[in-house]
Amino acid sequence: MPLLDLPLDQLKKYTGRNPRPADFDDYWSDALHQLDKLGAAYTLEPAAFKAPQAEAFHLWFMGVGGARIHAKFLRPKNFSGTIPGVCAFHGYTWHSGNWQDQLALVAQGMAVASLDVRGQGGLSEDNLVVKGMTHGGHIIRGVDDPNPHNLFFRNVFLDCAHLARILMEMPEVDAGRIGATGGSQGGGLTLACAALEPRVKLAAPVMPFLCDYQRVWEMDLAKHAYGEIREYFTRFDPQHFRQEAFFERLGYIDLQHLASRIKAEVLWGTGLMDNICPPSTQFAAYNKITSSKNMRVFPDNGHENLSGFPDEVFEFLCAL
């Protein structure tokens, strides 16, 4: 079998390269305290989209830092009692997708909220003000700010947990039956959601992004979605004087360091030829999860559709 990364037996033991900041736990305790103060207020606006068995709404809430955050929200037209809820997350720079994308889950009696990541392709606002360079890319946004709380993805991770809390507060949704899923960036945000809101019951990340940044760079794969890491060094630190501090700062938003907080049952899909989100970076997070978990490995697949796995994710979430 061709190898892009470590052999599978080594991947199963790999624990990551990117440093974990000494105050990591305090950092996220402070962040969650900020989220707690926001509560779970939201508004629903009827959407123009029509489907025979579903109701569609624009869901709006105020995220950390005062940004107005949007998600597409769908629920069945006819149901009794309370129903499960699913948070859906999209890929890097994209948006919440088409309304019809979530109808299969809605047809199974579920409510689905599909987040627009702030500042990317959807309707959510990005009002973050940071010091330092703002060259393209969200991973490095805020990396040179004196305050690590101004890292862009800190707020995005909190938005994901916030969305799960909103679903849990909806009168029609059973707070004990919440799932999360997404691919690439959406896979990473699935991990963030389940880590920061441990009441999430099921999590189905697919080839997740935002893990083990230093490993990506060491593999010479800081390109494509991770290309801003290379751009940062070539433009702003060409002799790598700040390399250690750079990766330590990114450690605050490295999902491998949040993974141990996950309580959900996890179904994970990965391709061993993934040169966008390398397998070792994913295993760095997966190996730190202590809850019930299963990984489906596709030896010849890269960062692409994993044939048959979407059906397995659907069946997995239908167990909510």
Catalytically annotated residues: 184, 274, 303
Give the closest residue to 35 by CA, choosing from 175, 166, 186, 215: 166
Decide: helix, strand or coil at residue 306: coil
CA gap 60, 70 in Å, rounded: 5
CB of 104 closer than 8 Å to CB of 97:
no
CB of 76 closer than 8 Å to CB of 102:
no
Pairing of strands 83-89, 111-115: parallel
CB of 95 closer than 8 Å to CB of 120:
yes
> At 266, which amino acid appears?
V
Taking the CA of residue 224 as centre, how many other CA atoms within 13 Å lie in the half-sphere pointing to its CB? Answer: 15
* Helix locations, 170-278, DSSP H: 185-196, 213-218, 227-236, 243-250
- Write 118-121 long-range contacts (CB < 8 A, 24+): 118/63, 118/67, 118/69, 118/155, 118/156, 118/159, 119/152, 120/90, 120/92, 120/93, 120/94, 120/95, 121/90, 121/93, 121/94, 121/95
Nearest 10 degrees: Cα torsion 22, 226, 73, 205: -70
Q: What 8-state DSSP symbol labels residue 104? A: H
CB of 165 closer than 8 Å to CB of 197:
yes
